[in-house]
Amino acid sequence: MAYSEELREQARQIMARYPEGRQRSALLPMLHLVQSHDGYVTPEGIALCAEMIGITKAQVAAVSTFYTMYKREPTGDFLVSVCTNTMCDVMGGQRVYDTLKEYLGVDHDETTADGKITLEHAECLAACDYAPVMTVNYEFYDRVTPDSALGTVEALQKGERPAPTRGARLCTLKEMSRQLAGWSEDRAEALADNSLGDATLAGARMAADNGVTAPQIDPATPLVKKENS
Amino acid sequence: MASAPSAEVLSKLTPVLTKRWLSPEAWKIDVYEQLDGYAALRKAVEYHPDEIIAFMKESGHRGRGGAGFPVGMKWAFIPQNDGKPHYLVVNADEGEPGTCKDLPLMMNDPHSLIEGIIIACYAVRAERAYVYVRGEAVHAARRLRNAVEEARAKGYLGRNVLGRGFDLDVVIHSGAGAYICGEETALLDSLEGFRGQPRLRPPFPATHGLYASPTVINNVGSIASVPHIVLGGADWWKSLGSENAAGTMIYSLSGRVKNPGQYECGMGITLNELLELAGGMADGHNLRFWTPGGSSTPMLTAEHADVPLDFDSIAKAGSILGTTAMMIFSDQDCPVYASYRWIVFYAHESCGKCTPCREGNYWMTRVYRRILSGRGTHEDLDTLLDACDNLLGRSFCGLGDGATSCVTSSLKYFKQDYLDYIEGRRKPLLNAADLVGAH
């Protein structure tokens, strides 16, 4: 794969985020960047990172193979991740995963023949209050059932982009990798997409509904107590 | 069980960090400013940085990432006038099973974290801060990046912050999927562009952290609390918690409860009270075991449901407050299977650096599979405890220690469940065909 001057310039911009002489800090975002171009971490992507940062390809590969979000095989447009850690598993996540696995005919870290969907089982996705959860390109689909998950995947196959419960409207995995490399969301409406749910607000809403508040503050309270005052 | 909570228990709700979540556009800077946003920063810069550090010590604020280390003390460890750059690194790599409080905070109130960062950097005299946000947390990162841009445009970040003569740059750095990077020294290695593996301590990050320079590493909740504490004062913050545990905590309830979710209360509330807030156990479920602070904290039982949930009381009960992630399991859930699934997780996430953790979790996974497939032996239980004995305290970081928690605590409280599989009284949960190569 040949990389454009534009992509190289983006890599230089990433390196500029870190102090002079500390450009190796750019490696993780740069791996996301090459993944946004190739769909996975290719030997060429590894070579580019090595060349630009000034380390060996072996050093880059040692890093890229350590992290689960760097994929070693071509991925689909949509990465479907089902949490099967203890809480989600107990609440039905394993059944969701098994259902999708059977329907799609692929197992963990595999991509459908049409190149559309990559399936994986994930460890805890930090949304246990919505267990069991599934993500598509890391946007949350909360409290999924085998049926609802199947419906989402079928919609993806038809070219639709079903809205996540929490998170932004879907983009492709390559587009998401660009954000992971550190670029801001350029879709204003995606930034505003929903981030709330009943579980997130459970305590705050209950307090508000019942008129319960934290003790009032006096913003003028001094931070340092003056002696003898 | 579904009755409304009593007035007494309701009054334990203390929305501080979660309050702005009710304003759906609080992630925008103009809305945030209308809701007291950046008022704490303006107040803080009226004081000398040393006074801010002394104030944070006085507030009794302790870290929210699991260890509960006093925040002011951590800041005070940073050597001043040493001629080296100082760094603040925010640990936003939320991934401890059961833990789900930092993501909603970053998604819905990102500026509180940014404002806390600016105050912290002013205090410890750091000109660069990095937020190491979990790779998968894309919506949180999206809102954080936007918040940084908004704050820069308003003069809260960049050169000469608020005209006060200090510069600050904040970078939102997305990780790439590794639980171990939530461990602070592994996080530093990852941020420096290496495999996320823990470092030997000492030297500690306070003197040799990021790029071998003095570094404060704090959890999202620890830093996002700072603006509230600065505005309300030390006495106010202390009044919200219990002795030795100032302030509020976001308690995250998941599992077999009617209304799982985030409940912010003063430190020292009990599980029974939290269950009352959450509408009780789900229909048909009775509390059997739970974790007070994620999967790395020893499980407790229904007997412990009245223990105050603060650092010291939970320690006395034999567990750890951790991240106040209450995973709640019922009489329909199996503690042996839950432990097995967690050990699979630890085996997957062990970075491989330390032999006890890498090998111990690998072999414990196999022992659990054998027990759960009905082929276990009584010696297997000794093997598990022996493996834990070799793991605990024998690895560079807490991942290995954390892995033993579910094994030893489930064997302590639920040994009979293990014996039921071994002695054939309970139907195997796993298929022996899955055991190829597992002995």
β pairing state of A134-136 and A139-141: antiparallel
pLDDT 10s digits, B389-426: 999 999 989 999 999 999 999 999 999 999 999 999 99
Last residue of a domain, one of A127, A156, A173: A173
Split into its structural domains, chain A has a count of 2
Alpha carbon of B315: minimum distance to chain A alpha carbons (Å): 24
In a domain, A228, yes or no: no
Residue B439 pLDDT level (bands cut at 50, 70, 90) = very low
Q: What is the pLDDT of residue B435?
A: 53
Whether residues A59 and A94 fall in one domain: no
Whether residues A39 and A94 fall in one domain: no
- CA distances for B246 relative to B249, B318, B344, angstroms: 9, 21, 36
Please tell me which of the candidates A129, A196, A212 has its beta carbon nearest to residue B21.
A196
- The answer, yes or no, to whether the previous bond of B202 is cis (omega within 30 of 0) is yes
Q: What is the pLDDT of residue B433?
A: 61
Alpha carbon of A106: minimum distance to chain B alpha carbons (Å): 18
For each of chain A's 229 residues, which pLDDT tens digit applies? Answer: 689 999 999 999 999 999 999 999 999 999 999 999 999 999 999 999 999 999 999 999 999 999 999 999 999 999 999 999 999 999 999 999 999 999 999 999 999 999 999 999 999 999 999 999 999 999 999 999 999 999 999 999 999 999 999 999 999 999 999 999 999 999 999 999 999 999 999 999 999 999 999 999 999 999 987 654 4
Q: How far apart are CA B125 and CA B48, in angstroms?
A: 11
In this predicted structure, the answer to whether residue B438 has a pLDDT above a threshold of 70 is: no
Interface test with A, best of B18, B100, B179, B288 (most A CBs within 10 A): B100
Please tell me which of the candidates A63, A138, A184 has its beta carbon nearest to residue B138.
A138
Last residue of a domain, one of A173, A192, A216: A173
Per CB-CB distance under 8 Å, the chain A contacts of B240 are 214-215
Whether residues A15 and A57 fall in one domain: yes
Q: What is the pLDDT of residue A187?
A: 94
Q: What is the mean pLDDT of chain B?
A: 95
Residue B1 pLDDT level (bands cut at 50, 70, 90) = very low
In a domain, A119, yes or no: yes
Q: What is the pLDDT of residue B66?
A: 84
Whether residues A82 and A169 fall in one domain: yes
Q: Kindly state the average pLDDT of the residues B54-77.
A: 95
| Beta strands per DSSP E along B240-397 | 248-255, 261-266, 287-291, 300-301, 325-330
Chain B residue with Cα closest to A195? B107
Please tell me which of the candidates B142, B234, B240 has its beta carbon nearest to residue A185.
B142
Q: What is the pLDDT of residue A227?
A: 57
Please tell me which of the candidates B5, B47, B254 has its beta carbon nearest to residue A129.
B254
The pLDDT > 90 percentage for chain B reads 93
In this predicted structure, the answer to whether residue B437 has a pLDDT above a threshold of 50 is: no
CB pair distance less than 8 Å for B97 and A124: yes
In this predicted structure, the answer to whether residue B436 has a pLDDT above a threshold of 70 is: no
Largest CA distance in chain A: 78
Residue B170 pLDDT level (bands cut at 50, 70, 90) = very high
In a domain, A191, yes or no: no
Chain B residue with Cα closest to A205? B22
Q: How far apart are CA A108 and CA B194, in angstroms?
A: 26
Predicted TM-score of the model (pTM): 0.96
CB pair distance less than 8 Å for B15 and A207: yes
pLDDT 10s digits, A9-62: 999 999 999 999 999 999 999 999 999 999 999 999 999 999 999 999 999 999
CB pair distance less than 8 Å for B22 and A208: yes
Kindly write down the DSSP assignment for every residue of B254-267, as one continuous string.
EESBSS-EEEEEET
Per CB-CB distance under 8 Å, the chain A contacts of B134 are 126
Binding residues of A for [2Fe-2S] cluster, as ranges, are 83, 88, 124, 128
Alpha carbon of B291: minimum distance to chain A alpha carbons (Å): 11
Exposure pattern of B233-256 as b/e (b: 16+ CB <10 Å)?
bbebbbebbbeebbbbbbbbbbbb
pLDDT 10s digits, B250-280: 999 999 999 999 999 998 899 999 999 999 9
Q: Which of A2-6, B229-233, B241-245 has the lowest mean pLDDT?
A: B241-245
- Class at the top of the CATH hierarchy for domain B17-236: alpha beta
What kind of fold does domain B247-330 have according to CATH? Answer: Ubiquitin-like (UB roll) (3.10.20)
Look up the domain containing A128 and give its range. Answer: 78-173
The pLDDT > 90 percentage for chain A reads 96
Per CB-CB distance under 8 Å, the chain A contacts of B176 are 28, 31-32, 67-70, 180
In a domain, A90, yes or no: yes
CATH of the domain at A27: 1.10.10
CATH of the domain at A145: 3.40.30.10
* Contact between B322 and B292 (Cβ < 8 Å): yes
In a domain, A203, yes or no: no
Kindly write down the DSSP assignment for every residue of B120-161, as one continuous string.
HHHHHT-SEEEEEE-TT-HHHHHHHHHHHHHHHHTTSSBSSG
Whether residues A150 and A98 fall in one domain: yes
Identify the CA nearest to B228 among candidates B219, B236, B217: B236
In a domain, A185, yes or no: no
Q: Kindly state the average pLDDT of the residues B142-151.
A: 98
Alpha carbon of B43: minimum distance to chain A alpha carbons (Å): 9
In a domain, A198, yes or no: no
Where does chain B hold its CATH 3.10.20.600 domain(s)?
Answer: 247-330
In a domain, A211, yes or no: no
Per CB-CB distance under 8 Å, the chain B contacts of A185 are 142, 145-146
Q: Kindly state the average pLDDT of the residues B80-96.
A: 96
In this predicted structure, the answer to whether residue B85 has a pLDDT above a threshold of 60 is: yes
More confident residue, B66 or B195: B195
Last residue of a domain, one of A173, A196, A221: A173
Where does chain B hold its CATH 3.40.50.11540 domain(s)?
Answer: 17-236
Per CB-CB distance under 8 Å, the chain B contacts of A171 are none
Whether residues A86 and A161 fall in one domain: yes
Q: Kindly report the CATH number that applies to the domain delimited by B335-435.
A: 1.20.1440.230
